[in-house]
Structure 1
C-alpha cells in the first residue's frame, strides 16, 4: 500500500568520510556527500535530531485509519424495516391478504398505525399492546396494527441478534457456529400471533358461513316472491307480505361474491313480475315507482359526484356501496328505467376506468421499479465480484455500494410477487460484499500484528546500539534499521505511536551522544574557514607567479589547502565552489604560459629550418598537416564511438573518458594548426 513517507537518505550517502558520520538519517536535513574530493574538507556537523513521528510520515494517507474501525464499518442506509419484515416472514408470522370486511372495519375504527405509533417502544411494551388489541378490539379491525407491530418488534430483535453476533465474533468465535439465544419475548409474540391468526381464521370462516346462510335466506325470499304471483289472498294482504319480503331482503347480509349478480337479477325479475301480476292501484304503484325513481336518481348524482373525487381507490369503494343500494332499490317506470341505468352505468364506467388506470399505472410504476432494482442488484453483484486488494479500493467500493443502497431506498415497491425476491437478491449481494470486506480486514489485521512483531525487533536492535561509541559503524547500522523500518508495513493505530516512540528514542539516544562527541570541533572548524578564505585570497593574487614559476606554485597551494582541516558544514559547499573556481583560473593561466613557451620554441626551430633550406620547411609543414588530418580522423572515430557506448552498461563513465580524449585531441590539433599558419606566414 502506497504511503507518503519522506525519503530517508540511502546508506551509501552517509559512508566514506568522518563528516558524514554525524548525519542522523531521520532528521529533516542531511549533510551533502562528496565534499572531500579536494582536500578532504568534510566537517562532522552534529545536530539535534528532529524526528518525524510515524503518523506524520504517512500524513494525508487514508490507509492509516484503524483496521478494526474500517472492518466494522457498515452501510448507513436504513434497511431495518425490510430486514424486520423478512425476519418476521422467516419466523412464520405472515398474514394473508386483507379482506373487504377488514378494510371496512379498519377504516371505521382503527387509529393511525405505523412506525410513529410504535417508535421507542420496548419489546415488552409491544407485547402488551398486542395483547390489549386482542382483548379489546374486533379481530377484523386490527390487521394493519398487527403488521406494523411485528415489524417494530423484529427491528429490535434483529439489532439484538446482530450485537450478539459481533460479540461472538469479537471473542474469536466462528461465524458459522453462531446461534442466537432463545428470546422469551419472541416466543410470547409467536403465541399472541397464533392466537390472532386463529381468531382471524375463525372470523373469516364464520363470515363465509354467514354469507352462505344469507344466500340460502335470499333464495328462500325469491321463492316466496315467486309464490306471491297468482296468490288468492286479498290485495292488501299480498302487498303487505311483499313489503315484508323486501324488508327481509334488505336486512339480510352479503352473500358470496360469485352469486351476487345472478341473485340480484333473479330477485329483480320476480319483483317486476309481482308488480305486473297484482295490478295494484295505479296511484299506489305510481307512488312506489316515483319513490324508487327518486332514490335511483340520487344514486346517479352520488355516482357522478364520485367522478370528481381524485381518490380513485376510495371512490371505487364508495361506488360498490352505491351499486348495492341500486340493487336493493325497486323498479321505476319503464320510460325512465333505461335512461337512469345508462346514466348510473356511465358514471360507474368512468370511476371503474379511473380505478383500473390507477392500478395499471401503479403496476407500471412497480414494473419500472423492478427493472431499476434489478440494475442495482447487478451493480452490487459486480462490486462483489471485483478483485479488491487494497484498503483504498475497498473504501471506494464501500462508498459506491452505499450510493447504490441510497438509490435503492429512494425507489418504490416492486410488484408484490417480486418484491421479496428482488430484495433478497440485493441483500445477498450486499452481504457477500461486506463479508468479503470483513475477511480482507481480518487478514490485514493479522498482517499488522506480524508487522508489530517485526518493529518490536527493530526497537530492540536500535536499543542495543544506543550506547555504542563506534560512530561510523553504528550510524550505518542504524541507517539500515531505519530502512528496514520503512519497508515493514503499517501496524494498528493503538500500537503505532508507542512502538514508533520507542524506536525513535533509541535512535535519539545514540545521535545525542554522537552530537556531544563532535560538538568540540566546531570552534576549530571556524578557524579553518578563516584560514581557507585567506588562502583563497592569496591564490587569486598569484596568477603572475604561476605564469612565471609554473605548476609548482599550484601544487604548493593544493598542499596547504589539504593541510587545513574541516570547515562548518553550512559553509562547506560555498568554500569548495570558490576554491575550484580559483584553482581553475590558476590552471588556465598555467596552460596559457605553457602554450606561449611552446610557440616561442617552435619559432626558434622554424628559423633553424629556414637556414637549412626551403625543402626542410616544406617537409615540416607536411608532417604537421599529416598530424592534423590524423587527429581529425581520431576525433571523428571517438565521436562515432560515443553513440555505441551510450547503449552499454556503465555508459556514463565511458562517455566521459572518450569526451576527455576528444578535448585533448582538439587542443593538440589547434596547436598544430597554429604552427602550420606560422610556417605559411614565414614562406611569404
Structure 2
C-alpha cells in the first residue's frame, strides 16, 4: 500500500469527527435508505410538498406503496409525521367541539377514522416491500463480495512477475472494469476489500513493463479523471442544498476510489486537493445539522414556555362564564402560536406535545363540567321562574288590592333571588311575569285613583310645612323650639304622599330640620329623644299595651347593646397596640364602644320617657 492509500485511510478516520465519513460503506448504505437527519433537513428547509388534509397524504402513500420503484424512507417518514400531525389536530378539534357543546368528558369516545385505517394498511405494504428489498440487497451484497474477492485473487495472481504483468494487462483492464460495475457489498467488509484491491492493483502497476508512452498515457488518463472529480467536489461548495451536496460527494468518493492510479509524484497532491474539497462539504453538512439541532432546542424552549402559560391559566379560578371565555380565548391564542413553532428534538417532541395537550385537556374538561352544571342550574332556574309566572298570572285579576299587592311584591323579590336562565327562555318568562304584574297594578291604580289625589294633597301639605320650617330657619322667633315641635307634629300627622315623591320630601324635611337643630345647638341625641317624645303621644293613643310593647322592645335593645359593649371591651384586651395598624384598630373600636354607650344612654332616656307617660 503506497502513501496515497495510507493517507486516504487516515483521512477517513479523522473525518469521522467532522460528520459522516465518505466511504464505500456509507455510500452503499445510503443507496438503501436516506438518513433521518436528511429527511428532517428537507422538511425543515421547506422543500417538501405541503399536505393540507389526511386524504392527500393517504393518496400519496398509496402511490408510493404500489409504485414500481422502491419506497424511499425519508419521504415515507415525512408523510407519516404529517399524517399524524393532521390526525391529532383533527381529533383535538373534534373533542373541543364536543366539550364546548356541553358533552361529558368521561363519555367522549374517539370516532373511527377511515383515513387512518387506510394509511396503516398502505404503511404495512410499504414495510413489507422494504423488508423484502433489504433481504434482496443483503443477498446481492454477499454475491458482490464474492465477485470482488475473486477479482482481487485474480489480480494478485497476475502481479507475480513483470512478465506475467505484461501478458495479463488486457485481462487486468477488464477486471478493473468489472470491479467498477460491481456496486454494493456488506458495509463491514467494504474498507478491507477496498484496501486489498488497491494493494494488488498498485503491485500490478509496479511490475508492469509496458513502454513508457503507454504507461504515461494510462497515468495521464487517470489524472484527468481524478482532476475532474476534484473540480466536481470543489464546485459542490456552491450548492445551496447541503444535503444534496453531501450525497453527491459520496458518489464522487466512490468514483475516486474506482479510478486508477496516477504517477507516484502526483498521488499525494491530487488526493490532498480532493480531501480539502471534501472537508468543506463535510463541515457544511455538520453545521447544517447543528443549526437544525439549535433551532429544535429553541423550539423546545418556546413550547415549554407555552406549556407553562397554559398550566398557569388552567390553575386560575373561574368564577363566572366570562372568566371561562376569557381564559378560553387566551388558550386558543396560545394553541395558534404553538402551531407556528417547528419540531422540538426528536426525543422530546412527543413528550412536550403530550404535556401541552394534557394542560389544554384539563382546562377544557373543567370548562365543560362547569357549563354542564350551569346548564343544569339554568334549567332549574327556568322552572322556578315559570312557577312564579303561573302564580302571578293566577293573581292578576284579583281585586284584593292590599293582600294581592303584598303577594306580587313578594313574588318580585323572590324572582330577583333566582339566578340566570338561557336568554331565549329568560326574555319570554320575564315578559310574561311583568305583564301579569302590570295587569294587576294598573287595575289597582285605576281603582285607587281617588287615593292618589289624596296623596298629592298630602304632598302639598308637607311641602307647606317644609316651607314654614325654612322660613323659621331664616327668621327665628322667641320660642323657636316650640314652634319647631308644633310643625314637626303637624308634618307627622299628614298621611301618605305619592311613592315617587316620598324620599324627596322626606330628605328635604330632614335637611331643614338638621339645619334648625344645628342653629339651636341641640345635640343629635336630644333631638332624637324629642322626636321620640313627640311620637310617643301617638303611641299612647293606641293604649297602654302599645307603650308596654315599645318599652319591652327598648329594653331588649338595651340588653343587646350591653352585650355588644362587653364583647368589644373584651376584644380590646387582646389587641396589641405596638403597631400603627394596631393603634388605628383600637381607636376605631373605642369609637364604636363610645357610640354604643351614647345610644344606650339615649334608650334609657326613652324608657324613662315611657315611664313618665304611663304615670
Q: How high is the TM-score relative to the length of structure 1?
A: 0.61
Task: Write the distance in 1 (CA, Å) between the matches of 2:408 and 2:81.
Answer: 66
> Contact 1:645–1:654 at 8 Å: present in 2 too?
no
Unmatched tracts of structure 1, length 5 or more:
1-97, 592-641, 661-684
| 1:212-249 CA distance string (max 9 Å, x none) | 22222222111111122136977775221111111111
Distance of aligned partners of 1:590 and 1:650 in 2 relative to their CA distance in 1, 3 Å threshold: closer
Task: Write the distance in 2 (CA, Å) between the matches of 1:173 and 1:528.
Answer: 64
Query: Counterpart in 2 of 1:626?
Result: none
Q: CA deviation at 1:585?
A: 11
Give the structure with higher Rg (CA). 1
Query: Counterpart in 2 of 1:295?
Result: 225
Q: CA deviation at 1:468?
A: 3.6
Task: Write the distance in 2 (CA, Å) between the matches of 1:589 and 1:284.
Answer: 139
Task: Write the distance in 1 (CA, Å) between the matches of 2:100 and 2:484.
Answer: 81
Query: Counterpart in 1 of 2:540?
Result: none
Alignment of 1:188-203 (within 5 A): 188-203=118-133
Distance of aligned partners of 1:302 and 1:163 in 2 relative to their CA distance in 1, 3 Å threshold: closer
| 1:231-272 CA distance string (max 9 Å, x none) | 697777522111111111111122233333322222122111
Query: Counterpart in 2 of 1:435?
Result: 365
> Contact 2:102–2:368 at 8 Å: present in 1 too?
no
> Contact 2:62–2:122 at 8 Å: present in 1 too?
yes
Distance of aligned partners of 1:655 and 1:475 in 2 relative to their CA distance in 1, 3 Å threshold: farther
**Larger deviation: 383-392 or 501-510?**
383-392
Distance of aligned partners of 1:341 and 1:550 in 2 relative to their CA distance in 1, 3 Å threshold: closer
1:421 to 344, 348, 351: 351
Query: Counterpart in 2 of 1:259?
Result: 189
Distance of aligned partners of 1:139 and 1:146 in 2 relative to their CA distance in 1, 3 Å threshold: farther
Q: CA deviation at 1:191?
A: 3.5
Superposition RMSD in Å: 4.8
> Contact 1:289–1:332 at 8 Å: present in 2 too?
yes
Task: Write the distance in 2 (CA, Å) between the matches of 1:163 and 1:582.
Answer: 70
- Larger RCO, structure (CA 8 Å, separation 6 or more): 1
2:593 to 624, 647, 656: 647
Query: Counterpart in 1 of 2:387?
Result: 457
Partner SS for 2:415: helix
1:394 to 316, 324, 327: 324
> Contact 1:113–1:148 at 8 Å: present in 2 too?
no
Partner SS for 2:289: helix
Q: CA deviation at 1:462?
A: 3.0
Task: Write the distance in 1 (CA, Å) between the matches of 2:519 and 2:353.
Answer: 91
Q: CA deviation at 1:379?
A: 4.7
Task: Write the distance in 1 (CA, Å) between the matches of 2:333 and 2:92.
Answer: 26
| 1:30-59 CA distance string (max 9 Å, x none) | xxxxxxxxxxxxxxxxxxxxxxxxxxxxxx
Q: How high is the TM-score relative to the length of structure 2?
A: 0.67
1:115 to 17, 25, 50: 50
Q: CA deviation at 1:283?
A: 0.9
Alignment of 1:327-366 (within 5 A): 327-366=257-296
1:140 to 63, 67, 71: 71
> Contact 2:71–2:126 at 8 Å: present in 1 too?
no
Query: Counterpart in 1 of 2:44?
Result: none
Distance of aligned partners of 1:197 and 1:250 in 2 relative to their CA distance in 1, 3 Å threshold: same
Unmatched tracts of structure 2, length 5 or more:
1-28, 40-46, 522-587, 607-615
Q: CA deviation at 1:373?
A: 3.4
Query: Counterpart in 1 of 2:16?
Result: none
**Larger deviation: 234-243 or 139-148?**
139-148
Q: CA deviation at 1:281?
A: 1.2
Q: What is the count of residue pairs matched by the alignment?
A: 502
> Contact 1:306–1:351 at 8 Å: present in 2 too?
yes
Q: CA deviation at 1:343?
A: 1.7
Partner SS for 1:254: coil
